[in-house]
Amino acid sequence: MSSQRKRRSTAAILGWIIAQLLIAAIAALFGLNRISGIALTGANLLIVVALVMLVLIALGVFAIA
C-alpha cells in the first residue's frame, strides 16, 4: 500500500470523526437527543479505533511504510 493511500485513509477516519461530531452538535441544537447520542457514540468508536491504531503503530505491531 502506498504512503499516499495510507494518508488518505487516515484523513478519511478524521473526516468521519468530524462529520459525526458535527451531526451530533446540530442534532443537539434541534433537540434531537437520540440522533445526537447515536452520532456521539459513532464518533467515540472511531476515536477509539484511531487511538488503538496509533498505539499499534507506536509499538511497531502495525507498520505504515
Give dist(CA 43, CA 65) in Å, integer. 27
CA-derived radius of gyration, the chain: 15
**Domain range for residue 17?**
3-59
> Is 64 part of a structural domain of the chain?
no
Q: Establish if 29 belongs to a structural domain.
A: yes
Number of domains, the chain? 1
48: nearest Cα among 24, 21, 13: 13
Q: How far is CA 53 from CA 11, 26, 27, 30, 31, in A?
A: 14, 29, 29, 34, 34
Backbone angles phi, psi at 7, to 5 degrees: -65, -40
pLDDT in tens, 45-59: 999 998 988 888 888
Specify if 65 maps to a domain.
no
1-51: per-residue pLDDT in tens?
555 666 667 778 889 999 999 999 999 999 999 999 999 999 999 999 989
